[in-house]
Amino acid sequence: MTIISCIFRNILVAILILSGSCYCDKAGHYTFMKDATLAPKHARFDYIIIGGGTAGCALAATLSQNASVLVLERGGSPYDNPTASDIGNFANTLFNNTPNSWSQHFISEDGVYNTRPRVLGGGSVINGGFYTRAGDDYVDEAEWEMEEVEASYQWVEKKLVFKPQVMGWQSAFKDGLLEAGEFPDNGFTYDHIYGTKIGGTIFDHAGHRHTAANLLEYADPEAIVVYLHAYVHKILFTTKGSQKPKAYEVIFEDANGMFHKAELANNAMNEVILSAGAMGSPQLLMLSGVGPAAHLAAHGVNPLVLDHPMVGHEIADNPMNVVFIPSPQPVEVSLIQTVGITKFDSYIEGGSGLSLSFDLTRRFFDGVLNLFNETSRTTSRNILTHSIEVLLKSLDLGLDVMINGGLIVQKIDGPASKGHMELRNTDPRDNPSVTFNYYQEPEDLNKCVKGLNTVIQTINSKAFSKYKYPGVTARELLNLMLGLPINLRTRHVTSTFNLTQFCIDTVMSIWHYHGGCQVGRVVDKNYKVIGIDSLRVIDGSTFLKSPGTNPQATVMMLGR
């Protein structure tokens, strides 16, 4: 019996052959995409978009139809290393945190690990790939035009989205959810409706990822310029000729440390648009002098352009709690395909067969030993002993490992608990400090407890039984999570198991953080920064809560 079965040499060889074989993506050889070192000292555009991420690419492609557009993206091109974003490399790319990696790690003040994208295409290059729309209620509350919403989702779907091939583990998980009472079975749909469904994915059938950067295929190549490795430092404002401060210029740094300026062409319609994400957009507003006055003064941000107390506030992250279920039989590699949308607003999702590189396994090694200690009193002992032997062996041989098992997670809607962000310094490269206050509001905690009960019922279902060792109980699996190094929080192991405490102790991020430049607080209903001219924000930082079960579809729709 093995928890972590080491990848056999022949599978490794197969992977090597596959990755060595030519995956020649014709997409992305955009003539308009250049390194920022090639940018002139000064340039003029109708629209300057800061951040070529999930929203930014959709927005840039759209605006280029009628105007000249500049995109400034701090990261590189996802096309430089197309296999790094394939489904089998999800964990390796996500956990790679080096100075220019696509993933930039941060730890919130809550003691929870998190990640910011740093690549053209943004989050869509490193995420789980699950694609699902927002519910009708969400669209109503946002006061978006239903017909435009529909057309914009379709514009995205035509280019990027696939129906997944549902195999053994995902299919057993789906049937388990139905057995746990999450019906009806809604089949395959992008719609956000109660019950159990299969959603879309941006991975094609060969496991290759399609990203928001592919939306640039819709752009007018004559009207758009994309600079990569272009780090924006500041937006500049003028007060000449208008009552309100007006954005007119953006300063960015290239990879050689040279500074460049991009200016708006002289037309009242022209704008700077922030699409730097929920961490980046509030940070850049503050660095540009737009934010809480006392906080900006404390960091020497000069001049103060506008005292905007809500910038960086009401940022939130949907908590996720995970249960790992070792499987007695092989599982397919799948990220999210099936989701249970409960009436109590917890979303149940799952994935199977994560592959981890040798390096990554090494880094988790201490944690695995802890796990062995924490649970040595339970009946899982033999399985864990064996798994550690297998792990040690694969590490000795310098091999990668594939985790033979699945993860079932619960994420809560909203959340009601909100946090705030503050600058640590004035370097745009550094992460600001952020506190999410996970589970501060009792309603969030209640949703988690109910969600975990559904997870437990799913694990115990007849349909799912072939992917769980018969001797292992759901309670033991939950206990196991208390021993894993999944966050930096104190774990409370009590004699009477307490699900509420489990939610608090094992909280993780599902990376759906949003807010910080919310509609009604920082931007108006048209996404214009309140009190400022020629400046909008278009990305997940404007959301009041996370859309649908997973946000990327709605982020791209908003960009369009």
Ligand X SMILES: *[C@@H]1O[C@H](CO)[C@@H](O)[C@H](O)[C@H]1NC(C)=O
Token output for 96: 């790679």
Q: If you search the block for the tokens 């699996």, which residue do you land on? A: 477
Collect all residues with Cβ–Cβ distance below 8 Å to 191 and sequence separation of at least 6: 133, 135, 197
Residue 45 near residue 68 (C-beta atoms within 8 A): yes
Distances (CA, A) of 301 to 260, 277, 283, 335, 434: 20, 21, 12, 42, 19
Site membership for ligand FAD, residue 173 (CB under 6 A): no
Binding to ligand X (CB under 6 A): which residues in 62-81? 62, 65-66
Q: Is 540 annotated as a binding residue?
A: yes
* Closest CB 45 distance from ligand X, rounded Å: 15
54 binds, among ligand FAD, ligand X, none (CB under 5 to 8 A by kind): ligand FAD
Site membership for ligand FAD, residue 277 (CB under 6 A): yes
Name the one range near ligand X by CB under 6 A: 142-150, 249-257, 279-287, 369-377. Answer: 369-377
- Residue 123: how many CB atoms within 10 A of its CB? 26
Cα 248 from Cα 305, distance rounded (Å): 13
Beta bridge partners of 60: none
Size of the site for ligand X (CB under 6 A): 9
* Closest CB 4 distance from ligand FAD, rounded Å: 22
Q: Which is nearer to ligand X, 251 or 416 (CB)?
A: 416
Cα 213 from Cα 346, distance rounded (Å): 31
Q: Which is nearer to ligand FAD, 175 or 539 (CB)?
A: 539
154 binds, among ligand FAD, ligand X, none (CB under 5 to 8 A by kind): none
Binding to ligand FAD (CB under 6 A): which residues in 209-238? 230-232
- Residue 191: how many CB atoms within 10 A of its CB? 14
Site membership for ligand FAD, residue 276 (CB under 6 A): yes
Q: Which is nearer to ligand FAD, 117 or 340 (CB)?
A: 117
- To the nearest 10 degrees (0 to 180), the angle between helices 358-374 and 474-483 is 120
* Closest CB 479 distance from ligand FAD, rounded Å: 26
Site membership for ligand FAD, residue 356 (CB under 6 A): no
Site membership for ligand FAD, residue 77 (CB under 6 A): no
Q: Which is nearer to ligand FAD, 380 or 431 (CB)?
A: 431
Among 428, 483, 515, 516, binds ligand FAD (CB under 6 A): 428
Binding to ligand FAD (CB under 6 A): which residues in 324-343? 336
Amino acid at 233: H
Site membership for ligand X, residue 440 (CB under 6 A): no
Q: Is 511 annotated as a binding residue?
A: yes
* Closest CB 72 distance from ligand X, rounded Å: 20
How many alpha carbons lie under 13 Å from residue 319 in its C-beta half-sphere? Answer: 33
Cα 536 from Cα 224, distance rounded (Å): 19
Q: Which is nearer to ligand FAD, 482 or 557 (CB)?
A: 557
Distances (CA, A) of 299 to 287, 324, 412, 427: 9, 43, 35, 11
Q: Is 272 annotated as a binding residue?
A: no
Site membership for ligand X, residue 500 (CB under 6 A): yes
Q: Which is nearer to ligand FAD, 119 or 316 (CB)?
A: 119
Q: If you search the block for the tokens 């899982």, which residue do you land on? A: 380
Among 107, 498, 530, 531, binds ligand X (CB under 6 A): 498
* Closest CB 74 distance from ligand FAD, rounded Å: 4
Site membership for ligand FAD, residue 50 (CB under 6 A): yes
Closest C-alpha to 324, from 142, 462, 469, 201: 469
Rg (CA), the chain: 23
Q: Which is nearer to ligand X, 62 or 387 (CB)?
A: 62
Collect all residues with Cβ–Cβ distance below 8 Å to 344 and sequence separation of at least 6: 446, 447, 450, 451
500 binds, among ligand FAD, ligand X, none (CB under 5 to 8 A by kind): ligand X
Binding to ligand FAD (CB under 6 A): which residues in 115-134? 115, 117-119, 122-124, 126-130
Site membership for ligand FAD, residue 53 (CB under 6 A): yes
Q: Is the omega angle on the peptide bond into residue 303 within 30 degrees of 0, that is, cis?
A: yes
Collect all residues with Cβ–Cβ distance below 8 Å to 458 and sequence separation of at least 6: 173, 176, 177, 179, 180, 340, 348, 408, 464
- To the nearest 10 degrees (0 to 180), the angle between helices 54-63 and 552-559 is 20
Q: If you search the block for the tokens 């905690």, which residue do you land on? A: 445
Please give the sequence-ordered ranges of beta strands (E in DSSP) within 282-366, or none if there are none: 290-291, 306-307, 313-315, 319-326, 338-341, 346-352, 355-356
Q: Is 295 annotated as a binding residue?
A: no
Under DSSP, is residue 523 helix (H, G, I), strand (E, B) or coil? strand
Residues marked as catalytic: 512
* Closest CB 398 distance from ligand FAD, rounded Å: 27
Site membership for ligand X, residue 146 (CB under 6 A): no
Site membership for ligand X, residue 385 (CB under 6 A): no
Token output for 99: 């100075």
Q: Which is nearer to ligand X, 16 or 146 (CB)?
A: 146
Site membership for ligand X, residue 453 (CB under 6 A): no
Site membership for ligand FAD, residue 282 (CB under 6 A): no
DSSP state of 311: T
Cα 354 from Cα 334, distance rounded (Å): 8
Q: Which is nearer to ligand FAD, 414 or 483 (CB)?
A: 414
Kindly report the backbone phi and psi dihedral angles of residue 495, in degrees, each rounded to the nearest multiple of 5, phi listed first: -70, -40
Site membership for ligand X, residue 493 (CB under 6 A): no
Closest C-alpha to 429, from 34, 94, 81, 106: 106
Token output for 432: 């600001």
* Closest CB 475 distance from ligand FAD, rounded Å: 28
Residues annotated within the binding site are: 119, 232, 511-512, 540, 551-552
Residues that bind ligand FAD (CB under 6 A): 50-56, 72-75, 94, 115, 117-119, 122-124, 126-130, 230-232, 275-278, 280, 284, 336, 428, 511-512, 539-540, 550-552, 555
Residues forming the annotated binding site for FAD?
Answer: 119, 232, 511-512, 540, 551-552
Contact residues for ligand X, defined by CB under 6 A: 62, 65-66, 369-370, 373, 498, 500-501
